[in-house]
């Protein structure tokens, strides 16, 4: 059993990960609500916002605002100076992935209620386990690219903010755009609005037949005229001021990217593949700039926020997540990405002031989840670690494979827990029953707290057995790109074992 100090350290660490959420209301919109100093004006109705903007920055850790806040001069700076910052807002669920976070933000309920329990999961059927992706839908097609897998919100079991706005006023419009399909679809909930995401195989922002059968003229025009200007920039060069270089990790470190192309400048000719420019582009900050450009086009072409029916616009910015996975949260690439995003958001807010009207739009900004850092570059106050070796990974793989062969044997869990305890880099291992049913009625340690959060993320009445192994805090395997977004793998140096190998097997049950 962990001592109190270890449990306390875990909780601090877990909070740093889950406290990824920033919710800021633009100061320009304070007057839009008609509220000042706790009183309401007679013009409250006339000044209600005509456009509700939801911005999600994928993998945006709250400590970025403290670490780099003085470097921000655009959108982040405006939110910090004129908005309201919630520093202790959290996603109180364990599976902190993009689809889960977006669906939770959109619906306001736990994953076990809205049904999006992960980016991908497995469901038991009479024919065995079936892989499920959160937005895949074989009954619809991608417009203009019928060979690609169709996308819709059909797995989302709850209505969301976009649905509520349209229910309150059928004349309200819903628009959503992102680099990722799930980050565009989930925030729009079930509303059949203007929903688009970037598809590098199509070389454009696409939609599915769930929403419409053909692209509007303004979307085709953006593809023909606006998108090509992003194709002219095939070099990602650093824009970090020289005085700020020391705020991030070294530019050349072996654990970034592919271990070879780890420093600025990043060039398509060096890192990309012939004929696949948009795939390389999709890993750079420039895609966020294109996403915001598409959002501006939607606002102008659809007339969002131009009448008394409030409209909803979601803009989910994915590149902080992609850069974070590839290079790490404290990398120079991430710092450059954040500085670029700050400038782009500043320009976007100015555009909304000019187009919709200052004080006539309201914005909320949040992360969908946080992230872990590279073990070699911990956040201040955290211990540095090391990477797992190939031999250590082989040991874990052997134990996992043996569990898979005997997953229906009730004695397997105890045998696997014992095998894990014998590994020098695992501090301890517990079976599920030990975690969830301690003799004194309280969680045995901090890992039990996380395990209960897992159960709040899936349906307890239908959940399949869970297998979860956490190597020691000081050990992580793989490159930055394989690090999880959630607390998995950093859980107080413990391992939890249940007699199976699947994390979940079913969608959550309906709300009681």
The answer for residues whose C-beta is within 8 angstroms of residue 45's C-beta and 6 or more apart is: 34
Active site amino acids: 98
- 48 token code pair: 């209600």
Distance (Å, rounded) from C-alpha 403 to C-alpha 228? 51
Residue 48, classified by CB atoms within 10 Å of its CB into exposed (0-12), middle (13-18) or buried (19+), is middle
Distance (Å, rounded) from C-alpha 182 to C-alpha 209? 15
204-206 and 194-199 as β-strands: parallel, antiparallel, unpaired? Answer: antiparallel
Peptide bond connecting 265 to the previous residue in cis, omega within 30 degrees of 0: yes
Distance (Å, rounded) from C-alpha 202 to C-alpha 214? 14
Give Cα 312 to chain centroid, integer Å. Answer: 20
Q: At what angle do helices 98-107 and 181-188 cross, to 10 degrees?
A: 20
Distance (Å, rounded) from C-alpha 25 to C-alpha 199? 31
DSSP string covering 140-188, please? Answer: S-BTTBTTSPPB-STT--S--HHHHHHHH-TT--EEEEESSHHHHHHHH
Helix (H, G, I), strand (E, B) or coil at 55: strand
Nearest to 320 by CA among 123, 98, 146: 98
Distance (Å, rounded) from C-alpha 298 to C-alpha 444? 52
- 374 token code pair: 């590279």
Q: Using alpha carbons only, what angle is made at residue 302 by residues 52 and 192, rounded to the nearest 5 degrees?
A: 75
Give Cα 116 to chain centroid, integer Å. Answer: 13
């Amino acid at each position: 059993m962990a001592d109190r100090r270890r449990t306390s350290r875990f909780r601090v660490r877990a909070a740093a990960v889950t406290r990824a959420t920033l919710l800021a209301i633009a100061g320009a919109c304070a007057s839009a609500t008609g509220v000042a100093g706790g009183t309401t004006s007679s013009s409250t109705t006339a000044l209600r916002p005509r456009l509700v903007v939801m911005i999600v920055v994928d993998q945006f850790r709250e400590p970025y605002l403290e670490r780099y806040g003085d470097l921000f001069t655009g959108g982040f700076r405006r939110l910090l100076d004129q908005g309201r910052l919630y520093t202790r807002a959290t996603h109180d669920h364990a599976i902190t992935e993009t689809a889960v976070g977006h669906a939770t933000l959109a619906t306001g309920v736990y994953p076990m209620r809205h049904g999006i329990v992960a980016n991908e999961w497995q469901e038991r059927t009479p024919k065995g386990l079936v892989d499920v992706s959160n937005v895949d839908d074989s009954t619809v097609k991608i417009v203009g690219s019928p060979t690609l897998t169709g996308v819709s919100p059909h797995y989302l079991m709850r209505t969301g903010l976009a649905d509520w706005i349209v229910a309150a006023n059928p004349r309200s419009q819903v628009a959503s755009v992102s680099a990722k399909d799930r980050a565009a679809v989930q925030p729009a909930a079930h509303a059949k609005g203007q929903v688009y995401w970037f598809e590098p195989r199509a070389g454009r922002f696409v939609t599915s037949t769930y929403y419409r059968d053909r692209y509007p003229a303004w979307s085709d025009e953006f593809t023909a005229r606006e998108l090509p200007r992003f194709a002219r920039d095939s070099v990602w060069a650093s824009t970090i001021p020289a005085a700020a270089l020391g705020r991030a990790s070294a530019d050349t470190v072996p654990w970034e990217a592919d271990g070879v192309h780890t420093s600025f400048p990043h060039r398509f000719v060096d890192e990309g593949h012939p004929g696949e420019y948009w795939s390389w582009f999709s890993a750079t900050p420039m895609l966020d700039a294109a996403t915001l450009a598409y959002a501006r086009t939607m606002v102008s072409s659809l007339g969002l926020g131009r009448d008394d029916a409030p409209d909803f616009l979601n803009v989910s910015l994915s590149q902080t997540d992609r850069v974070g996975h590839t290079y790490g949260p404290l990398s120079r690439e991430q710092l450059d990405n954040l500085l670029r995003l700050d400038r782009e958001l500043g320009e976007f807010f100015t555009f909304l002031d000019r187009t919709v009207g200052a004080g006539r739009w309201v914005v909320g900004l949040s992360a969908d989840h946080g992230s872990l850092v590279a073990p070699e570059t911990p956040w201040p106050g955290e211990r540095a670690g090391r990477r797992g070796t190939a031999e250590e990974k082989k040991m874990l793989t052997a134990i996992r494979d043996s569990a898979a062969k005997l997953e229906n044997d009730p004695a397997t869990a105890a045998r696997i827990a014992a095998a894990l305890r014998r590994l020098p880099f695992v501090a301890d291992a517990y079976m599920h029953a030990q975690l969830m049913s301690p003799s004194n009625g309280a969680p045995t340690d901090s890992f039990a707290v996380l395990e209960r959060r897992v159960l709040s993320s899936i349906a307890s009445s239908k959940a399949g057995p869970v297998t979860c192994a956490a190597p020691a805090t000081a050990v992580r395997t793989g490159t930055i790109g394989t690090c999880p977004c959630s607390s998995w793998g950093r859980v107080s140096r413990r391992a939890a074992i249940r007699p199976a190998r699947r994390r979940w097997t079913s969608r959550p049950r309906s709300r009681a």
